[in-house]
Amino acid sequence: MDRATRSYPESEPIRQLAGARGVENLMLFIDDDLRETAMALGNVENYLVGVLRLLEAPRLGREEVHAVAADTQVLDHVDMLVETLETLRRRLAKLSASLR
Half-sphere exposure of 66 (CA within 13 A, CB side): 3
pTM for the model stands at 0.73
Domain chopping of the chain, boundaries? 20-98
What confidence tens digit (pLDDT) does each residue in 15-39 have? 555 555 678 899 999 999 999 999 9
* Count of residues making up the chain: 100
Alpha carbons 54 and 48: distance in angstroms, whole number: 10
What confidence tens digit (pLDDT) does each residue in 41-65 have? 999 999 999 999 999 999 999 999 9
Percent of the chain whose pLDDT exceeds 90: 71
Exposure string (b/e) for 29-40, b if CB count within 10 Å is 16 or more? Answer: ebebbeebbeeb
**For residue 49, what is the DSSP state?**
H
